[in-house]
Structure formats: structure tokens, C-alpha cells
């Protein structure tokens, strides 16, 4: 019997509702599934045949510890997604690499966490309004929407950054049309979810009042998301491409390869696809 450890975190040690659907799909295939926090006892992972990274949602607070843990996994157990790919995806710095390869990333500048650096980046990009966010973070932590002529807002935005960060244009379509998550398993498109913010907000995460619902993604968007994934330095078992979709093109927000929500609660049948891929990847290794 294949023993699969699903990595969670101490803040939320149990399986999420979505990952519980995945665990059931794996159990139906004869696997023994356990959930264990990545930042607690290592033994559950050392004793597993395969570790699947799922709700390690506090890793960006202690990124060095998490990176070290992934290296420990390399010596102890098969891991998906692969640890080297996890480390590449841990900070949004990968977006600059993807942009250099032709991915449709909005014009962006790296900044240090101070108001002068934000202002200089906005000037370089010719922006009157911008989004400021840390390179390392999750659930929109540290994100601000600022205007160039609002010095107090620039100072406030800088005060909640945790280190090296980035500036991008504000896209009003995020508020009006939302953000689309295109989910891939084994490099093949599985399903799409539309995330929309609550009125008056731009944060689409459910933690901030956003809503999520299944959506039919246009074929061109699926093809473009697949092309973006092909630019990443490794083979993915699971991936989520987050983008703002326009009529015939997209603006890439993030490629989530570490611990993305995969929305199995909305499309439970898709958990079977990932379960098959996880077991086939393990058996192939």
C-alpha cells in the first residue's frame, strides 16, 4: 500500500475541505493518506512513500526554514511538486524570469520596502496608480493600491512590506471582471475558477470576502496558460495559473506551484485526475 503524506502547516494541521476530496480519491485507489504539518515532526514525511505539498500556507513567514525542509525531503522521500521547482516558485521573483521568456506579465519593477523606491518605480513605469506587493507572501498579505500623488499612501504601503517587493500597474478589470485560475494536472488543463472580490475591494481571496465559482475558460486562455507553464523549469504534477482575462489576451498574475488551492470542492471529480497523476508519478520514480 502506497503511503502518501499530505503536507499541511501547524496553523492549520488538518486537511482543507478541498484536500479532503483529494485524500478520498487517493484512498479509493488503495493509498494510505496522512496529513502532517511541514513545520512539526519530520517523521511522517520520512516514513512516507510520497509527500504531496498542499496547505503549507505559512511557509513565506519562514521561507528559509521551508526551503531547508524541502531539501530534507529530497533525501527522504519522493515529493510532488519537485522540491527544486518549489524553491524556484517560493517568491514572485520568478515572474521577472517568465517575463523575460515572453510570458504576459504586466510591466513590473522590483523595489525595496520604502516610499521613495515605490515612487521611483511608478515613475519608471509611468504609473499614476499602482499595486505594491511583497515578493514573498500569500493571501494578498502586504498588498496595497496606491496613487503616485498620495505620499501618505506610499509611506503606508511601504510600512507593511516584509522585504524586497514589486510594483505593477493597477488593473481595474480585477475589480470589474475578477481573476481566473486555470488549474493543470500533469501539464494538462483540468478546470477553471473565476475569483471575484467583494464590492469596493481588489483582493479576490475568500479570506478577504472574495467569491469563487467554476467557469468555462476560453480555448486561447487555456493554450496561453499551458505555454506559460512550459516556460517553468520543471515538470509539474499540479499547477495553477492566475490571470486577468481580456477579450483575446491575458495579464499573468501568478503561477502557483507550491501550495495552490485547487478548488476540488467546486469540481470534486477533478480530484481523480490528480490522484491518478500522483500515483503514476510515484510508480514511475
**Whether residue 67 sits in one domain with residue 7:** yes
Handedness of CA 40, 86, 188, 135 (dihedral sign): positive
Helix, strand, coil tally for the chain in percent (to 5):
35, 25, 35
- Report the percentage of the chain scoring pLDDT > 90: 87
Would you call 37 helix, strand, or coil by DSSP?
A: strand
From residue 219, how far is each of 116, 206, 222, 262, 263 by CA, in Å?
Answer: 42, 27, 5, 20, 20
Pick the last residue of a domain from 118, 150, 169. 169
**Whether residue 228 sits in one domain with residue 193:** yes
What's the number of domains the chain is made of?
3
Contact 221, 180 (CB under 8 A): yes
Q: Which residue has the cell 523575460?
A: 100
Domain-embedded: residue 252: yes
62 lies in which domain range? 3-89+274-284
**Whether residue 152 sits in one domain with residue 179:** no
pLDDT at 162: 85
Question: β-strands 129-134, 144-147: how paired?
Answer: antiparallel
Pick the last residue of a domain from 169, 190, 216. 169
Domain-embedded: residue 267: no
Domain-embedded: residue 97: no
* For residues 240-258, average pLDDT: 97
Domain-embedded: residue 266: no
Residue 208 belongs to a domain with what CATH number?
3.30.470.20
How far does Cα 46 stand from its chain's mean position?
A: 25
- For residue 201, pLDDT over 70 is answered with no
Domain-embedded: residue 145: yes
Contact 262, 53 (CB under 8 A): no
pLDDT digits (tens, 9 = 90+) for 109-119: 999 999 999 99
Q: Which residue has the cell 515532526?
A: 41
**Whether residue 181 sits in one domain with residue 161:** no
**Whether residue 200 sits in one domain with residue 135:** no
Name the average pLDDT for the chain.
94
Pick the last residue of a domain from 120, 137, 169. 169
Could you write out the DSSP letters of every residue in 151-179? HHHHHHHHHT--SSEEEEE--THHHHH-E
Contacts of residue 144, defined as CB under 8 A and 6 or more positions apart, other chains included, come to 131, 132, 133, 153, 156, 157, 160
Residue 120 belongs to a domain with what CATH number?
3.30.1490
Domain-embedded: residue 12: yes
pTM of the model: 0.95
Residue 216 is placed in which grid cell? 468555462
**Whether residue 78 sits in one domain with residue 44:** yes
State the DSSP code for 106: P
**Whether residue 83 sits in one domain with residue 125:** no
**H-helix segments, the chain:** 17-28, 43-46, 63-76, 83-88, 94-100, 115-125, 151-159, 173-177, 219-230, 271-284
Domain-embedded: residue 263: no
State the DSSP code for 248: S
Distance, in Å, from the CA atom of 229 to the CA atom of 241, rounded to the nearest integer, reads: 8
**Whether residue 205 sits in one domain with residue 249:** yes
pLDDT digits (tens, 9 = 90+) for 10-48: 999 999 999 999 999 999 999 999 999 999 999 999 999
Distance, in Å, from the CA atom of 170 to the CA atom of 82, rounded to the nearest integer, reads: 33
**Whether residue 189 sits in one domain with residue 164:** no
Residue 64 belongs to a domain with what CATH number?
3.40.50
**Whether residue 143 sits in one domain with residue 129:** yes
Domain-embedded: residue 99: no
Amino acid at each position: 500500500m502506497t503511503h502518501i503524506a499530505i503536507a499541511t502547516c501547524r496553523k492549520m494541521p488538518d486537511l482543507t475541505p478541498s484536500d479532503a476530496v483529494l485524500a478520498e480519491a487517493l484512498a479509493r485507489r488503495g493509498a494510505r493518506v496522512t496529513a502532517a504539518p511541514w513545520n512539526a515532526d519530520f517523521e511522517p514525511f520520512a516514513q512516507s512513500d510520497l509527500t504531496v505539498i498542499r496547505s503549507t500556507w505559512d511557509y513565506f513567514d519562514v521561507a528559509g526554514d521551508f526551503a531547508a525542509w524541502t531539501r530534507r525531503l529530497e533525501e527522504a522521500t519522493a515529493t510532488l511538486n519537485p522540491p527544486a521547482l518549489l524553491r524556484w516558485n517560493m517568491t514572485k521573483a520568478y515572474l521577472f524570469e517568465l517575463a523575460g521568456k515572453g510570458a504576459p506579465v504586466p510591466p513590473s519593477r522590483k523595489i525595496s520596502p520604502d516610499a521613495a523606491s515605490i515612487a521611483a518605480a511608478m515613475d519608471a513605469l509611468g504609473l499614476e496608480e499602482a499595486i505594491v506587493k511583497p515578493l514573498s507572501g500569500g493571501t494578498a498579505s502586504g498588498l496595497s493600491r496606491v496613487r503616485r500623488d498620495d505620499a501618505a499612501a506610499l509611506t503606508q504601503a511601504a510600512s507593511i512590506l516584509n522585504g524586497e517587493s514589486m510594483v505593477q500597474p493597477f488593473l481595474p478589470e480585477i475589480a470589474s471582471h475578477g481573476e481566473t485560475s486555470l488549474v493543470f494536472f500533469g501539464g494538462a488543463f483540468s478546470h477553471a475558477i473565476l475569483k471575484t472580490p467583494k464590492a469596493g475591494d481588489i483582493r479576490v481571496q475568500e479570506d478577504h470576502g472574495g467569491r469563487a465559482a467554476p467557469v468555462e475558460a476560453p480555448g486561447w486562455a487555456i493554450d496561453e496558460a499551458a505555454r506559460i507553464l512550459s516556460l517553468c523549469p520543471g515538470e509539474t504534477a499540479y499547477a495553477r495559473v492566475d490571470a486577468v482575462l481580456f477579450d483575446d489576451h491575458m495579464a499573468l498574475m501568478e503561477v502557483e506551484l507550491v501550495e495552490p488551492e485547487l478548488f476540488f470542492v467546486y469540481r470534486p471529480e477533478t480530484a481523480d485526475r490528480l490522484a491518478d497523476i500522483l500515483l503514476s508519478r510515484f510508480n514511475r520514480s
